[in-house]
């Protein structure tokens, strides 16, 4: 695995700008799913979005967070993450009243299964499903409730001041200097058929539990002097394999989830 010589400047995350995986991460997951869905799912998706692909659609739910409409600014904001304290499971805590990524995923899967839903509603639903499966595979979007999914943990990454959430969303991926199509092609070459068999599950509770385990090891040790953790090659070397595994798993699970959704739809 090559380490980057130059990293792009990083943007400090704020609560409204904490976007899971960034554009390339979501597009990688969308493209892997596009390459692994079955023919029935592919046809059902084409009925909804025409020739647009899942990689392109995958960033819609983040892009619309700039939309001033109350739906995007208030109602949909909590749907990009879940909060589970250490030692708990999602079954222990469930969704808050305003909802979360898990409950929103269920909501929009139901829209896709609903024969009475309009094509416009199904397009929004599909965009959310594609996006939220990716979110649930990003460990910082399965936060423990203490630091807003790493947004409050200030770090430097190759000398740039940022936070842990942003490192996982964007910096570790963008630091490889690959387009999303190049990155997808490389990951798909490295993924084995056994990986697909082992990872193929449409159960979000499995994905969430895995993200909790990855989250635990993603936090850097606090410096002895109490200062800001300084992350660079060592952190990247240890964490990038976890990032890439979650991207591959997210793509495979998105394919599994969509196949399950559209299979249920055709059986009605």
Give the pLDDT score at 4: 37
Using the predicted structure, report yes or no on whether residue 62 has a pLDDT greater than 80.
Answer: yes
Give the pLDDT score at 22: 86
Using the predicted structure, report yes or no on whether residue 120 has a pLDDT greater than 50.
Answer: yes
Give the pLDDT score at 8: 34
CA-closest candidate to residue 240, choices 221, 218, 220, 223: 218
Name which of 51-55, 173-177, 261-265 the model is least confident about.
261-265
> How far apart, in whole angstroms, are the C-alpha atoms of residue 145 and residue 84?
7
Tell me how far CA of residue 78 lies from CA of 73, 145, 151, 240, in angstroms.
10, 13, 15, 27
Q: What is the pLDDT of residues 82-92, one digit of tens each?
A: 999 999 999 99
CA-closest candidate to residue 135, choices 167, 184, 100, 93: 100
> How far apart, in whole angstroms, are the C-alpha atoms of residue 268 and residue 266?
6
Q: Is the pTM of this model over 0.75?
A: yes
Give the pLDDT score at 266: 52
Give the pLDDT score at 265: 60
> How far apart, in whole angstroms, are the C-alpha atoms of residue 54 and residue 19?
18
Mean pLDDT value of segment 16-29: 78
> How far apart, in whole angstroms, are the C-alpha atoms of residue 186 and residue 229?
31
> How far apart, in whole angstroms, are the C-alpha atoms of residue 11 and residue 170?
9
Give the pLDDT score at 6: 32
Mean pLDDT value of segment 163-184: 96
Mean pLDDT value of segment 196-225: 96
Mean pLDDT value of segment 61-68: 93
Percent of the chain with pLDDT over 70: 91
Using the predicted structure, report yes or no on whether residue 37 has a pLDDT greater than 70.
Answer: yes
CATH topology of domain 15-266: P1 Nuclease (1.10.575)
> How far apart, in whole angstroms, are the C-alpha atoms of residue 129 and residue 133?
6
Domains of the chain, residue spans? 15-266
Q: What is the pLDDT of residues 139-155, one digit of tens each?
A: 999 999 999 999 999 99
**pLDDT classification of 99: cutoffs 50, 70, 90:** very high
Using the predicted structure, report yes or no on whether residue 16 has a pLDDT greater than 50.
Answer: no
Name which of 3-17, 27-41, 117-131, 227-241 the model is least confident about.
3-17
């Amino acid at each position: 695995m090559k380490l980057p010589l130059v990293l792009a400047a990083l943007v400090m995350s704020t609560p409204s700008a904490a976007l899971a995986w960034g554009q390339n991460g979501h597009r990688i997951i969308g493209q892997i799913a596009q390459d692994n869905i079955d023919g029935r799912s592919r046809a059902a998706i084409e009925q909804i979005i025409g020739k647009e692909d899942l990689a392109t659609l995958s960033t819609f739910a983040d892009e619309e967070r700039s939309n001033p409409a109350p739906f995007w600014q208030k109602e949909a904001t909590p749907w990009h993450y879940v909060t589970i304290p250490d030692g708990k499971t999602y079954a222990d805590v469930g969704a808050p009243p305003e909802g979360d990524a898990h409950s929103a995923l269920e909501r929009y899967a139901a829209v896709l299964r609903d024969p009475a839903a309009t094509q416009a509603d199904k397009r929004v639903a599909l965009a959310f499903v594609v996006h939220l499966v990716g979110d649930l595979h990003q460990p910082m979007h399965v936060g423990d409730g203490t630091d807003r999914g790493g947004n409050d943990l200030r770090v430097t990454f190759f000398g740039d001041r940022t936070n842990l959430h942003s490192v996982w969303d964007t910096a570790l991926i963008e630091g490889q200097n690959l387009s999303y199509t190049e990155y997808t092609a490389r990951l798909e070459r490295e993924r084995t058929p056994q990986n697909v068999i082992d990872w193929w599950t449409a159960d979000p509770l499995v994905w969430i539990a895995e993200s909790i385990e990855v989250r635990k090891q993603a936090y850097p040790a606090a410096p002895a002097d109490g200062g800001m953790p300084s992350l660079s090659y060592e952190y990247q070397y240890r964490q990038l394999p976890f990032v890439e595994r979650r991207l591959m798993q997210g793509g495979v699970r998105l394919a599994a989830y969509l196949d399950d959704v559209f299979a249920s739809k055709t059986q009605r």
